[in-house]
Amino acid sequence: MTPSALDANDTASARRELRRRKLTAFLFVAPLLLFLVFAFVAPIATMLVRSVYHPVVSELIPETLEALKDWDGEALPPAEARAVFAADLKRLAGERLSGKLAEEINRALPGSSSTIKASARKLGRMDDAELASAGGAILAAADAAWENPKIWKAIRDAGAAYTPDYYLTALDLEMADGGGVQPRDGAKIYVDLYTKTLRIALYITVLTLIGGYPLAYYLANAESKNANMLMVFVLLPFWTSLLVRTTSWIALLQTSGVVNSVLTGAGITRSPLEMLYTQFSTVLAMTHILMPFMILPLYSVMKGIDPSYMRAAMSMGSKPIPAFLKIYLPMTLPGLSAGVLLVFIISVGYYITPALVGGTDGQMISNIIAFHMQQSNNWELAAALGSLLLAMILVLYWVYDRFVGAGNIKLG
């Protein structure tokens, strides 16, 4: 009998063969992999870094920060340290970068912008040697604010390259003076916005489920002629532009829109209802837009459930409704959870529809992220808000996996 083990030659050639296969397989996925790294992994990584890393101040005044390192933060910093800052400020004035510094420090200590700008103008005309010997006094002469430890503290804090500040802001918290974390004064803008976002997403998920489940059931069990036609209607939203669909809701819901005209025309309401630019319109339009994401996974799962299961249950004496709850519903769970997860996650991060029809009431977290990126130019805060959103979704997914099992998702 020939031995079944491979000899050295065979092993080498088998290895070569395997390597070749792996290489071909890699070449097949390489384009997509590259694209993913470029378009997905890299941006998320940048976002995560951005949310904690802010090296602007530390690059502008590295020597001052070095000199302030041993300062206890209670009294004024030592004169030498202030002199180093004076020299730095003069240099910045020369390089026309003092404005940038002023802007950064102002964020930590509102009102300090003018102090820094004015002092920079004065220091720009001074002599280097003079600044080195009596920089602190010169600063104090330029603006009394330099005699207050507060501004120095602000400079030192802003100089940290890595900062949790943006996360704290995103959670409506701030650093307490004595260290530690405390809630920020005033309204909890971001936390409220997160809860509102989750609530809206939940409404939408429930509504798509209520609308989608029976329809998917009908589609899966109808004659193919009817089912195909209805399927076109389900898919229609995918084929028309998102913008068109959203604006069509504007046409429907606005004060002089179709719905109001009908309601007032029929005498049901006396004056038009305010429906547009509310949370209601956001939920309504997004339910419409996300409906296919609920129907399609449900449909694909239901299509695979043979009618004989329900028949078997009934032949054993079960009434239709208990049979549905005990047999059919559990069997649709993979599609149900896929649909719920899909709709919920998509709606949590949705931007365009709330932006167009949401008004102030219907804004979601993505809208505020966009605001910080486009208008307030605070990319770091936007990144922190985005990272928190990502973390939230990952947590939800983890919870789902714990209780339902991610292996149960069936998309098609």
Chain contacts with another protein (rule: CB under 8 A): 306, 308-309, 311-320, 322-323, 326-327, 330-331, 333
Residue 311: name the closest of 412, 409, 221 by CA. 221
Q: Which of 115, 117, 68 is CA-nearest to residue 93?
A: 117
Question: Which residue, 265 or 317, is less far from another protein as judged by CB?
Answer: 317
Cα distances (Å, whole numbers) of residue 106 to 113, 121, 149: 5, 17, 15
Nearer to another protein by C-beta: 70 or 306? 306
Tell the smallest beta-carbon distance from residue 411 to another protein (Å).
Answer: 19
> Nearest Cα to 164, choosing from 172, 175, 156, 154?
175
For 5, 10, 13, 20, 241, the CA distances from 16, given in Å and listed in that order, are 17, 10, 5, 6, 50
- Closest approach, Cβ 396 to another protein, in A, equals 24
Comparison of 253 and 323: residue with beta carbon closer to another protein:
323
Name which of 323 and 365 has its Cβ closer to another protein.
Answer: 323
Which residue's CB is nearer to another protein, number 148 or number 318? 318
Q: Considering beta carbons, is residue 87 or 310 the nearer one to another protein?
A: 310
User: C-alpha angle with apex 60: 90 to 96, nearest 5 degrees?
Assistant: 50
CA distances from 42 to 28, 164, 346, 382, 385 (A): 21, 21, 21, 17, 18
- Cβ-based nearer residue to another protein, 73 or 322: 322
- Which of residues 28 and 309 has its CB atom nearest to another protein in the complex? 309
The CA distances from residue 89 to 86, 140, 146, in Å, are 5, 14, 13
- Least distance CB 3 / another protein (angstroms): 34
Burial 334-363 (b: 16+ CB within 10 A, else e): bbbbbbbbbbbbbbbbbebbbbbbbbeebb
Q: How far is the CB of 338 from another protein (least distance, A)?
A: 16
Largest CA distance in the chain: 102
Q: Where are the alpha helices (DSSP H) in 222-326?
A: 224-239, 242-253, 258-265, 279-303, 308-315, 320-323
Q: What is the DSSP letter of 76?
A: P
Nearer Cβ to another protein (214/320)? 320
Cα–Cα distance measured from residue 292 to residue 236, given in angstroms and rounded to the nearest whole number: 9
CB of 336 to another protein, least distance (A): 13
- Distance of closest approach, residue 325 Cβ to another protein, in angstroms: 12
Element (DSSP H or E) covering residue 125 = none
At its nearest, how many Å lie between another protein and the CB of residue 318?
A: 5
What distance in Å separates the CA atoms of residue 96 and residue 105, rounded to the nearest whole number?
Answer: 16
Report the DSSP pairing between strands 173-175 and 181-183.
antiparallel
Query: Shortest Cβ distance from residue 331 to another protein (Å)?
Result: 6
Q: Closer to another protein at the Cβ: 310 or 368?
A: 310
